[in-house]
Amino acid sequence: MRRRGSDFRRPVRRRIPNVFWLTLCGLVILLFIVLLSRESQHPASRSAYTKRSSRHEKVIEGLNITDEMLSPDSVTRQLNDQISLAKAFLVIAKESNNLQFAWELSAQIRNSQILLSNAALRRTPLTTSESEIAIRDMALLLFQAQQLHYDSATMIMRLKAKIQGLEEQMNSINEKSSKYGQIAAEEVPKSLYCLGVRLTSEWFKNAYFQRKQKENRQIASKLKDNSLYHFCVFSDNILATSVVVNSTALNSRNPDKVVFHLVTDEVNHAAMKAWFTMNSFGGVTVDVQKIEDFSWLNASYVPVLKQLQDSDTQSYYFSGSGGDNRTPIKFRNPKYLSMLNHLRFYIPEVFPALKKLVFLDDDVVVQKDLSALFSLDLNGNVNGAVETCMETFHRYHKYLNYSHPLIREHFDPDACGWAFGMNVFDLVEWRRRNVTGIYHYWQEKNVDRTLWKLGTLPPGLLTFYGLTEPLNPSWHVLGLGYTNVDHQLIEKGAVLHFNGNAKPWLKIGMEKYKPLWDRYVDYGHPLLQQCNVH
């Protein structure tokens, strides 16, 4: 077959690639999707806008803001801004002793406030014409304040200086308050001093008391009878000790089985004996000793007495000039060196015949029968006490110096603190573990007061660490001498503790808790009336 010539051949058709058609289709589909999404978004955005606007309207309604106040051209808004700025300048003008300018500012602030008040009462916005003069006059005063350098930087500096001055005043007032409160807490009221003098006089001039004392020697066997309930109180406060004994007796199911061992100092010994001889406490046995009769209590054996002979210690506690002068006065109180406070660490030596004993502070009130304490199982521990670690500030790190390596190595900072004031002591276990020796060790290590500073609780926490059995909190309720205590806790509490400065026998005592203490004082007693005890 013959081929056609090139001039007579059909033209070849160019084919469009498949990739082109696929791309075109994809673009069309994408355009279609975009158009659909725009249509769907419009109503959503409109609804979101509607929601935002309704929320905005609710906020405005809640703040009582009007449309006129929100307007950038609002006269009311301008006046309010001027008043706020003028008040700030007024404070600085007074601080600068520019009293004339302060008076002008104050007068103009009042004028502007009157305009705003009148507009609010008639419920119509302020007009430019009626507020023009007030805005102009205030603007002139504000410009004048700027010329006096009452600008923002000056205001900030002055306010900072003022805040610093107020903080210094507050610190000074707090320090004085603490100092005077401590002095008030340590004072012996004239009425109690009078009671002590009169009782001492009665003891030495009244032959009845001497005869009564000889008769009481027949009860000596009770003082060593371990089948009875033995309590001890170490105090120089006659009336407070009387409340402890009386409240325990009145709330005891078997007062004839209760024995109180009281230890006082020589100054109050005769008065204390006279009071507990002339008054009956429902069959309770009471024995009174004086600390000076304990021959073993001397400087060679007792670290606290040894420290009292040190000149630095005397200066720190008694002159107030030694050591760190920033140390609060409560840490420098000489009463913390009193052997009546530290005698609690020598209980087995004070009462060598006893096996179990309950220690009570003289600022407690007993309102339940305590006989069950003597049958408690301490699980091999020496001290039964109520823990106070419900909050972190009552843990060991609150009372001890954990920057000292000795404290860090031996004691857990988060260990629970506990309270002195109502403690059950197993004296057999105490002697076996030589707890008094542990106390001596830590007292000697603290001769420079670097382990702790305050009171007998810190050495107690060290001495009885790992030897304390937690008791039910209802046995011992604390805080009635410095804080508010839940009424239900007070109702359930067996022993109420007026720990803190506000003791119930002082004028600074908390009035709402005084009746709890007063109910155990016989204010009709002739001696109390003579000494105006009330």
Query: Phi, psi at residue 285, to the nearest 5°?
Result: -85, 130
Q: How many CB atoms lie within 10 A of CB 530?
A: 12
Q: Has residue 194 got a pLDDT over 80?
A: yes
Q: Has residue 150 got a pLDDT over 70?
A: no
In whole angstroms, give the CA distance from residue 284 to residue 363.
Answer: 19
Q: What's the whole-number mean pLDDT along residues 298-319?
A: 74
Tally the C-alpha atoms within 13 A of residue 417's C-alpha that lie toward its C-beta: 20
> What residues have CB less than 8 Å from 266, skipping those under 6 apart?
290, 291, 292
**35 vs 326, which has greater pLDDT?**
35
**363 vs 79, which has greater pLDDT?**
363
The yes/no answer on whether domain 191-531 falls in CATH 3.40.718.10 is no
407-416 burial: b if 16+ Cβ within 10 Å, else e? beeebeeebb
User: Given pLDDT bands bounded at 50, 70 and 90, which one contains residue 258?
Assistant: very high
**325 vs 237, which has greater pLDDT?**
237
Q: How many CB atoms lie within 10 A of CB 364?
A: 26
User: Given pLDDT bands bounded at 50, 70 and 90, which one contains residue 9?
Assistant: very low
**CA neighbor of 297 nearest in space, from 462, 436, 465:** 436
**210 vs 266, which has greater pLDDT?**
266
Query: Phi, psi at residue 146, to the nearest 5°?
Result: -65, -35
Q: How many CB atoms lie within 10 A of CB 360?
A: 27
Least confident of 4-18, 237-251, 423-437: 4-18
Which 8-state DSSP code applies to residue 424?
Answer: E
Q: Kind of pairing, strands 468-470 and 364-366? A: unpaired
Do residues 283 and 309 make contact, with C-beta atoms less than 8 angstroms apart?
no
**105 vs 208, which has greater pLDDT?**
105
Which 8-state DSSP code applies to residue 74?
Answer: -
| Structure confidence by residue, pLDDT tens digits, 475-498 | 999 999 988 999 999 999 999 999
| Structure confidence by residue, pLDDT tens digits, 372-421 | 999 999 999 999 999 998 765 688 998 999 999 999 999 999 999 999 99
Hey, what's the torsion of the CAs at 413, 416, 419, 420, to 10 degrees? -60
| Structure confidence by residue, pLDDT tens digits, 352-377 | 999 999 999 999 999 999 999 999 99
**456 vs 54, which has greater pLDDT?**
456
Q: What is the H or E stretch that residue 357 is in?
A: strand 356-360
Q: Has residue 11 got a pLDDT over 50?
A: no
Q: What's the whole-number mean pLDDT along residues 130-147?
A: 85
Least confident of 77-81, 305-309, 354-358: 305-309
Q: Has residue 12 got a pLDDT over 50?
A: no
Q: What's the whole-number mean pLDDT along residues 295-309?
A: 87
Coil, strand, or helix at residue 446? coil
Query: Phi, psi at residue 284, to the nearest 5°?
Result: -70, 135
Q: Has residue 19 got a pLDDT over 70?
A: no
Q: Has residue 275 got a pLDDT over 70?
A: yes
Query: Phi, psi at residue 5, to the nearest 5°?
Result: -70, 165
Least confident of 72-81, 175-184, 431-440, 452-461: 175-184
In whole angstroms, give the CA distance from residue 181 to residue 109.
Answer: 44
By the 10 Å C-beta count (0-12 exposed, 13-18 middle, 19+ buried), 353 is classed as exposed
pLDDT at residue 49, rounded to an integer: 44
Q: How many CB atoms lie within 10 A of CB 350?
A: 19
pLDDT at residue 172, rounded to an integer: 77
pLDDT at residue 5, rounded to an integer: 46
Parse the chain into domains and list their residue ranges: 68-150, 191-531
User: Following DSSP, what letter does each residue of 453-477 receive, concatenated?
Assistant: -SSSHHHHHHHTTT-EEEPPGGGEE
Q: Has residue 73 got a pLDDT over 90?
A: no
pLDDT at residue 67, rounded to an integer: 56
Q: Has residue 38 got a pLDDT over 90?
A: no
C-alpha radius of gyration, the chain, whole number: 41
In whole angstroms, give the CA distance from residue 227 to residue 322.
Answer: 50
Q: Has residue 204 got a pLDDT over 50?
A: yes
**212 vs 412, which has greater pLDDT?**
412
In whole angstroms, give the CA distance from residue 178 to residue 493.
Answer: 29
In whole angstroms, give the CA distance from residue 371 to residue 356.
Answer: 12
Q: What is the mean pLDDT of the chain?
A: 82
User: Given pLDDT bands bounded at 50, 70 and 90, which one contains residue 75?
Assistant: confident
pLDDT at residue 525, rounded to an integer: 94
pLDDT at residue 451, rounded to an integer: 93
pLDDT at residue 335, rounded to an integer: 60
Do residues 306 and 339 make contact, with C-beta atoms less than 8 angstroms apart?
no
Do residues 105 and 89 make contact, with C-beta atoms less than 8 angstroms apart?
yes
Q: Has residue 46 got a pLDDT over 80?
A: no
Q: How many CB atoms lie within 10 A of CB 385?
A: 25
Q: Has residue 136 got a pLDDT over 50?
A: yes
